Structure 1
Amino acid sequence: MIEKLEEEKIQLGLDVDIQKLEAEKMIKGKNKTEEDLDSLKTDYKKLRLSMRTAELGKTSKQWQDLLESRDEKVGLKARITELERSLQQYRSHNSVIELKASLTKIEELKEKIEELEAALQNCELRVELLETNNEH
Protein backbone atom coordinates (compact mmCIF):
# COMPACT_ATOMS: atom_id res chain seq x y z
CA MET A 1 0.00 0.00 0.00
CA ILE A 2 2.81 2.41 0.97
CA GLU A 3 4.81 1.48 -2.11
CA LYS A 4 1.78 2.11 -4.29
CA LEU A 5 1.28 5.54 -2.73
CA GLU A 6 4.96 6.39 -3.16
CA GLU A 7 4.82 5.22 -6.78
CA GLU A 8 1.73 7.34 -7.39
CA LYS A 9 3.48 10.33 -5.79
CA ILE A 10 6.47 9.86 -8.11
CA GLN A 11 4.16 9.55 -11.11
CA LEU A 12 2.40 12.80 -10.20
CA GLY A 13 5.77 14.51 -9.87
CA LEU A 14 6.64 13.27 -13.35
CA ASP A 15 3.33 14.61 -14.67
CA VAL A 16 4.22 18.04 -13.28
CA ASP A 17 7.64 17.83 -14.97
CA ILE A 18 5.99 16.91 -18.28
CA GLN A 19 3.67 19.92 -18.02
CA LYS A 20 6.69 22.18 -17.43
CA LEU A 21 8.53 20.69 -20.42
CA GLU A 22 5.52 21.19 -22.66
CA ALA A 23 5.28 24.83 -21.59
CA GLU A 24 9.00 25.30 -22.36
CA LYS A 25 8.53 23.65 -25.76
CA MET A 26 5.69 26.07 -26.58
CA ILE A 27 7.84 29.04 -25.58
CA LYS A 28 10.71 27.80 -27.77
CA GLY A 29 8.32 27.37 -30.71
CA LYS A 30 7.00 30.89 -30.20
CA ASN A 31 10.55 32.27 -30.12
CA LYS A 32 11.44 30.39 -33.32
CA THR A 33 8.35 31.79 -35.06
CA GLU A 34 9.27 35.30 -33.99
CA GLU A 35 12.82 34.82 -35.30
CA ASP A 36 11.45 33.57 -38.62
CA LEU A 37 9.16 36.60 -38.84
CA ASP A 38 12.07 38.95 -38.14
CA SER A 39 14.09 37.20 -40.84
CA LEU A 40 11.24 37.62 -43.34
CA LYS A 41 10.97 41.30 -42.50
CA THR A 42 14.73 41.73 -43.05
CA ASP A 43 14.53 39.92 -46.40
CA TYR A 44 11.60 42.13 -47.39
CA LYS A 45 13.59 45.29 -46.59
CA LYS A 46 16.59 44.02 -48.60
CA LEU A 47 14.33 43.23 -51.56
CA ARG A 48 12.79 46.71 -51.45
CA LEU A 49 16.24 48.28 -51.38
CA SER A 50 17.42 46.26 -54.37
CA MET A 51 14.22 47.17 -56.24
CA ARG A 52 14.86 50.86 -55.60
CA THR A 53 18.37 50.64 -57.03
CA ALA A 54 17.06 48.81 -60.12
CA GLU A 55 14.41 51.45 -60.92
CA LEU A 56 16.71 53.80 -62.88
CA GLY A 57 16.20 54.17 -66.68
CA LYS A 58 12.71 52.64 -67.05
CA THR A 59 10.22 53.21 -69.87
CA SER A 60 6.76 54.66 -69.18
CA LYS A 61 5.27 51.15 -69.46
CA GLN A 62 7.83 49.86 -66.98
CA TRP A 63 7.01 52.74 -64.62
CA GLN A 64 3.30 51.99 -64.94
CA ASP A 65 3.94 48.31 -64.20
CA LEU A 66 6.12 49.31 -61.27
CA LEU A 67 3.40 51.54 -59.82
CA GLU A 68 0.83 48.76 -60.18
CA SER A 69 3.27 46.38 -58.55
CA ARG A 70 3.80 48.80 -55.66
CA ASP A 71 0.05 49.15 -55.18
CA GLU A 72 -0.22 45.38 -55.04
CA LYS A 73 2.67 45.23 -52.56
CA VAL A 74 1.01 47.83 -50.34
CA GLY A 75 -2.12 45.68 -50.31
CA LEU A 76 -0.07 42.58 -49.56
CA LYS A 77 1.82 44.35 -46.79
CA ALA A 78 -1.49 45.43 -45.23
CA ARG A 79 -2.70 41.84 -45.47
CA ILE A 80 0.53 40.60 -43.84
CA THR A 81 0.07 43.08 -41.01
CA GLU A 82 -3.53 41.96 -40.56
CA LEU A 83 -2.48 38.30 -40.55
CA GLU A 84 0.34 38.98 -38.08
CA ARG A 85 -2.10 40.73 -35.75
CA SER A 86 -4.57 37.87 -36.08
CA LEU A 87 -1.83 35.30 -35.47
CA GLN A 88 -0.63 37.17 -32.39
CA GLN A 89 -4.18 37.32 -30.99
CA TYR A 90 -4.61 33.60 -31.67
CA ARG A 91 -1.30 32.77 -29.99
CA SER A 92 -2.08 34.94 -26.99
CA HIS A 93 -5.53 33.42 -26.62
CA ASN A 94 -4.22 29.86 -26.95
CA SER A 95 -1.30 30.53 -24.61
CA VAL A 96 -3.62 31.86 -21.94
CA ILE A 97 -5.95 28.88 -22.30
CA GLU A 98 -3.07 26.39 -22.24
CA LEU A 99 -1.40 28.08 -19.27
CA LYS A 100 -4.69 28.13 -17.34
CA ALA A 101 -5.18 24.44 -18.12
CA SER A 102 -1.60 23.68 -17.06
CA LEU A 103 -1.98 25.64 -13.83
CA THR A 104 -5.24 23.88 -13.08
CA LYS A 105 -3.62 20.51 -13.73
CA ILE A 106 -0.64 21.42 -11.54
CA GLU A 107 -2.94 22.51 -8.71
CA GLU A 108 -4.90 19.27 -9.03
CA LEU A 109 -1.66 17.29 -8.94
CA LYS A 110 -0.45 19.23 -5.90
CA GLU A 111 -3.70 18.44 -4.10
CA LYS A 112 -3.39 14.77 -5.05
CA ILE A 113 0.22 14.73 -3.79
CA GLU A 114 -0.89 16.27 -0.50
CA GLU A 115 -3.63 13.64 -0.18
CA LEU A 116 -1.17 10.87 -0.97
CA GLU A 117 1.37 12.23 1.51
CA ALA A 118 -1.33 12.35 4.19
CA ALA A 119 -2.39 8.79 3.34
CA LEU A 120 1.24 7.67 3.39
CA GLN A 121 1.81 9.30 6.77
CA ASN A 122 -1.37 7.64 8.06
CA CYS A 123 -0.17 4.25 6.82
CA GLU A 124 3.24 4.79 8.40
CA LEU A 125 1.57 5.60 11.73
CA ARG A 126 -0.52 2.42 11.45
CA VAL A 127 2.63 0.39 10.75
CA GLU A 128 4.32 1.94 13.80
CA LEU A 129 1.25 1.22 15.92
CA LEU A 130 1.12 -2.40 14.70
CA GLU A 131 4.83 -2.82 15.35
CA THR A 132 4.40 -1.36 18.84
CA ASN A 133 1.44 -3.69 19.53
CA ASN A 134 3.41 -6.71 18.25
CA GLU A 135 6.30 -5.88 20.61
CA HIS A 136 3.99 -6.03 23.65
Structure 2
Amino acid sequence: MKRFTANPMTTPKYDWWWGKRVNDNVPMSSQENTRPIEEHLKVIPYELKVIKQDFEKRSSKLGKKIEQLEEEKMRLGLDVDDQKLEAEKMRK
Protein backbone atom coordinates (compact mmCIF):
# COMPACT_ATOMS: atom_id res chain seq x y z
CA MET A 1 0.00 0.00 0.00
CA LYS A 2 1.40 3.38 -0.96
CA ARG A 3 1.46 5.97 1.72
CA PHE A 4 1.15 9.64 0.97
CA THR A 5 2.27 11.90 3.74
CA ALA A 6 1.88 15.61 3.39
CA ASN A 7 2.89 16.16 6.97
CA PRO A 8 5.41 13.84 8.61
CA MET A 9 3.89 14.68 11.99
CA THR A 10 1.02 12.15 12.19
CA THR A 11 -0.60 10.88 15.33
CA PRO A 12 -0.57 7.23 16.37
CA LYS A 13 -4.37 7.22 16.05
CA TYR A 14 -4.08 8.35 12.41
CA ASP A 15 -1.44 5.70 11.73
CA TRP A 16 -3.75 3.04 13.22
CA TRP A 17 -6.67 4.27 11.08
CA TRP A 18 -4.49 4.34 7.96
CA GLY A 19 -3.37 0.76 8.62
CA LYS A 20 -6.99 -0.43 8.86
CA ARG A 21 -8.00 1.45 5.69
CA VAL A 22 -8.29 -0.70 2.58
CA ASN A 23 -9.52 0.40 -0.86
CA ASP A 24 -10.73 3.86 0.07
CA ASN A 25 -12.05 3.06 3.52
CA VAL A 26 -13.85 -0.17 2.63
CA PRO A 27 -12.91 -2.63 5.37
CA MET A 28 -11.68 -6.05 4.31
CA SER A 29 -13.93 -8.96 5.11
CA SER A 30 -12.74 -11.57 7.53
CA GLN A 31 -12.02 -14.90 5.86
CA GLU A 32 -12.10 -16.85 9.13
CA ASN A 33 -15.78 -17.78 9.31
CA THR A 34 -16.67 -17.92 5.65
CA ARG A 35 -18.02 -21.03 3.93
CA PRO A 36 -17.63 -21.86 0.27
CA ILE A 37 -20.66 -21.12 -1.90
CA GLU A 38 -21.16 -24.85 -2.45
CA GLU A 39 -21.93 -25.32 1.24
CA HIS A 40 -24.47 -22.49 1.16
CA LEU A 41 -26.17 -24.07 -1.84
CA LYS A 42 -26.39 -27.50 -0.17
CA VAL A 43 -28.63 -26.05 2.55
CA ILE A 44 -31.29 -24.85 0.12
CA PRO A 45 -32.40 -28.28 -1.24
CA TYR A 46 -32.70 -29.62 2.32
CA GLU A 47 -34.93 -26.71 3.33
CA LEU A 48 -37.03 -27.18 0.19
CA LYS A 49 -37.38 -30.88 0.99
CA VAL A 50 -38.67 -30.06 4.49
CA ILE A 51 -41.11 -27.49 3.11
CA LYS A 52 -42.34 -29.99 0.49
CA GLN A 53 -42.91 -32.70 3.13
CA ASP A 54 -44.83 -30.22 5.31
CA PHE A 55 -46.95 -29.19 2.33
CA GLU A 56 -47.73 -32.82 1.44
CA LYS A 57 -48.71 -33.59 5.05
CA ARG A 58 -51.07 -30.60 5.21
CA SER A 59 -52.47 -31.40 1.79
CA SER A 60 -53.20 -34.97 2.87
CA LYS A 61 -54.98 -33.79 6.02
CA LEU A 62 -57.07 -31.32 4.03
CA GLY A 63 -57.94 -34.02 1.47
CA LYS A 64 -59.23 -36.30 4.23
CA LYS A 65 -61.22 -33.45 5.75
CA ILE A 66 -62.80 -32.69 2.35
CA GLU A 67 -63.80 -36.34 1.95
CA GLN A 68 -65.40 -36.35 5.41
CA LEU A 69 -67.32 -33.17 4.67
CA GLU A 70 -68.56 -34.55 1.34
CA GLU A 71 -69.78 -37.73 3.06
CA GLU A 72 -71.53 -35.68 5.72
CA LYS A 73 -73.10 -33.47 3.05
CA MET A 74 -74.39 -36.55 1.22
CA ARG A 75 -75.84 -37.97 4.45
CA LEU A 76 -77.52 -34.66 5.30
CA GLY A 77 -78.88 -34.47 1.76
CA LEU A 78 -80.40 -37.94 2.16
CA ASP A 79 -81.92 -36.92 5.50
CA VAL A 80 -83.51 -33.87 3.85
CA ASP A 81 -84.93 -36.07 1.07
CA ASP A 82 -86.37 -38.47 3.66
CA GLN A 83 -88.01 -35.62 5.56
CA LYS A 84 -89.47 -34.22 2.34
CA LEU A 85 -90.99 -37.61 1.56
CA GLU A 86 -92.46 -37.87 5.05
CA ALA A 87 -93.89 -34.35 4.78
CA GLU A 88 -95.53 -35.22 1.46
CA LYS A 89 -97.00 -38.40 2.93
CA MET A 90 -98.46 -36.42 5.82
CA ARG A 91 -100.01 -33.87 3.44
CA LYS A 92 -101.77 -36.66 1.53
- TM-score, L = length of structure 1: 0.42
SS at match of 2:33: helix
Structure 1 gaps, min length 5: 1-49, 56-68
Bigger radius of gyration among the two = 2
Q: 2:63 matched to which residue of 1?
A: 107
- Structure number having the greater helix percentage: 1
1:76 deviation in Å?
2.6
When the two structures are aligned, how many residues end up with a matched partner? 71
Percent identity between the two aligned chains? 13
- TM-score, L = length of structure 2: 0.59
Aligned partner letter, 2:90: N
4+ runs deviating over 4 angstroms: none
Residue 88 of structure 1 pairs with residue 44 of structure 2: yes
* Structure 2: distance between partners of 1:52 and 1:109: 62
Alpha-carbon RMSD across the aligned residues, in angstroms, is: 2.8
Higher relative contact order (CA 8 A, sep 6+): 1
Structure 2 gaps, min length 5: 1-20
